[in-house]
Amino acid sequence: METTAPHIAVVYATAQGSTREIADFIGASLTARGALVEIADAEHAPDPTRFDVVILGSAVHDRALLPALGDYVRSHRHELRERPVWLFSVGLGPALVGPIGRLMGRAVPKQIAALREMIGPRDYHAFAGHYERAGVSFTARTMYRLVGGRRYGDLRDWPAITAWTDTIAQELKLPSAQAIPTHP
């Protein structure tokens, strides 16, 4: 019995490129397992009805997903509910430590929760992204430190991103990777 590889869309919205790099890594990982993957930014994303599976990702600004991904979800909510969907976000919350930071990092902002409920993804995961000190006001830097921000730069947890991607591959019953993709 021959099985056909799932056709997967990885649709993302990025502000500074961190989310795009995560989307590219997820796409490469699933491609290495035999899936047919198309990666597109939300503003130029294809119709989800062309795909068996959709993975959505967005940077988080002001406790919300970027407008381009929100618009994509709202425009295609019915089609997205009819297929397996996974959702991820990229922001500061997961990088925060200490009691206040961990509490803030685990909380799903209301606007993200509303979009999540609209499409009913199989899973939602928040990842840390980049946070550079340059160009950030003294007040914002102070708040970041007070809520548990320890360092600046690339805060992404690639082993966590890999593990999340592996759970998607396992649920889709994809074979083991033929080559292991590397992250940026």
Model pLDDT for residues 41-52, shown as the tens digit of each residue: 999 999 999 999
Q: What is the pLDDT of residues 99-114, one digit of tens each?
A: 777 777 778 889 999 9
Residue closest to 130 by CA, chosen among 180, 99, 92: 92
Q: Is the pLDDT of residue 2 over 70?
A: no
pLDDT at 59: 95
Task: Kindly indicate the confidence band of residue 3, based on its pLDDT and cuts at 50, 70 and 90.
Answer: low
Domain range 7-171, CATH architecture: 3-Layer(aba) Sandwich (3.40)
CA distances to 4, 76, 124 from 72, in Å: 27, 6, 17
Domain boundaries in the chain?
7-171
Please tell me the distance from the alpha carbon of residue 65 to that of residue 162, in angstroms, as a whole number. 22
Please tell me the distance from the alpha carbon of residue 145 to that of residue 183, in angstroms, as a whole number. 27
Q: Is the pLDDT of residue 89 over 70?
A: yes
Contacts with 79 (C-beta within 8 Å, 6 or more apart), sequence order: 47, 48, 49
Please tell me the distance from the alpha carbon of residue 111 to that of residue 115, in angstroms, as a whole number. 7
The single residue listed with the structure tokens 């799932």 is: 6
Please tell me the distance from the alpha carbon of residue 58 to that of residue 90, in angstroms, as a whole number. 6
Task: State mean pLDDT over 31-59.
Answer: 97
Map residue 22 onto helix, strand or coil: helix
β strands within the chain, DSSP E: 7-13, 36-41, 53-61, 64-65, 85-91, 123-128, 130-131, 153-154
pLDDT at 4: 84
Q: What is the pLDDT of residues 134-156, one digit of tens each?
A: 777 888 777 777 776 778 778 89
